Amino acid sequence: MAEPQKPAEKPRLISEADMTKYKSAGDIVNDVTRNLIPLCVEGAKIIDLCIEGDKLIEEGTNAVFNKPVKGVKVSKGVAFPTCISVNNTVAHFSPLLSDPLASQTLAKGDVVKLHLGAHIDGFAAISAETIVVGATEDDPVIGRRADVLKAAYHAAELAMRLVKVGNKNWTVTDAVSKVATAFNCKPVEGMLSCQQTQNVIDGKKRIILNPTEAQRRDMDTVLFSEDEVYGIDILVSSGEDGKVGIARVEASKTSIYQKDSSVTYQLKSRNSRTVFSEMQKRAGAFPVNIRVMEDEKRARLGLQEAVTHSLVKPYEVVYTPSNTFVAAFHFTIALPPAGPLLITHPPVWYKPELVKSDIELEDELKSLLAKPLREKKKKAKETDGSAEAK
């Protein structure tokens, strides 16, 4: 008698080879972050830190996956250029040599957000964390700096536990808001976290922070599904008495740009076509800092037409009010069948003994944070009557 055929296994959206590339990129990002944090000292120039971060990413990715696959060289490199955003600067500050702010240095007490990413074969790991310059166990972070840092850290930890198969994006939005509110803070309005796939870091499934009524109405409700990958960006502002989480554009020059793969447009200017071609060669589908391009001034002029027609999108430098602080944690997480899996590493710098806020979370939120990222699956009940209760 023929044995019954086993049902065909469901094809995986993420292969083991893909996961290996994701994890390798995550290891590189973690190593670069570990190397950058000790350099974030009083007097350090932000532009030097950004350049060093990108150099370390390139060195790290150049050292792995050097054998061609089916005769094709594996693409790898920077998935998100290194950004060092300080105090009320929300994100994307990575100055150009021509930027008047290129001489900006770090000061003691600065709330510093390090944001960077690497990719192997288009599988990207992106991470961000926040440190405070000069803080030690003997001289820890206190006051509103401590409140916003602790709020963002716990919000990220909670989001890790809520990005799981079957949950909705709004579950994360609302939980982050609840944590921020507990610390008299606000998530930065309208900031997005996105699904990732190969060569895509801004996929269609998205999570929004602190949405306006219009943004909540227009944002799709999505379910997290098996084998998806997400880049989760948690940004929290100390606000003005916790009321303000609105970001705005100021005088800083935009330096980071990315091709929008959903848009097609035939560029008219020869310089625009030249710059766009160089941009694609250097970064492919990923963002690029025009500081690394052959001619920074020509690149900026050449991108104007592409930005106007949405062929390229700018990552603008945005700010909250000058008397506020913003803390950020960004993690990349996969949803394989066995349960959620962090692709990036936990924060390097953050420790409770360094951040002393007088505010504590409610018991309900504490209990959620106490849960493991990957819960053990319950064993199926035995049906032969031989099992005994333990």
CA 292-298-302 angle, to 5 degrees, is: 105
Identify which of 237, 156, 228 has the alpha carbon closest to the alpha carbon of residue 198. 228
| Diameter of the chain measured on Cα atoms | 81
User: Could you give the domains of the chain?
Assistant: 16-253+319-364 (3.90.230.10), 255-315 (1.10.10.10)
Q: Single out the residue of 302, 320, 339 nearest to residue 148, CA to CA.
A: 320
The CA-CA-CA angle for residues 75, 78, 79, to 5°, reads: 90
Length of the chain, in residues: 390
Q: Are 153 and 348 in contact (CB under 8 A)?
A: no
Scanning the chain, the segments in alpha helix (DSSP H) are 16-36, 46-62, 143-162, 169-182, 213-218, 270-283, 296-308, 363-369
Phi, psi of 2, deg, nearest 5: -70, 140
Interval 327-365: pLDDT, tens: 999 999 999 999 999 999 999 999 999 999 999 998 888
Place of tokens 């990923």: 286
List per-residue pLDDT tens for the chain, 390 residues long: 556 665 556 667 789 999 999 999 999 999 999 999 999 999 999 999 999 999 999 999 999 999 887 788 999 999 999 999 999 999 999 999 888 888 999 999 999 999 999 999 999 999 999 999 999 999 999 999 999 999 999 999 999 999 999 999 999 999 999 999 999 999 999 999 999 999 999 999 999 999 999 999 999 999 999 999 999 999 999 986 545 566 666 667 899 999 998 899 999 999 999 999 999 999 999 999 999 999 988 999 999 999 999 999 999 999 999 889 999 999 999 999 999 999 999 999 999 999 999 999 988 888 989 999 887 766 544 444 444 443
| CA atoms of 159 and 371, how far apart (whole Å) | 12
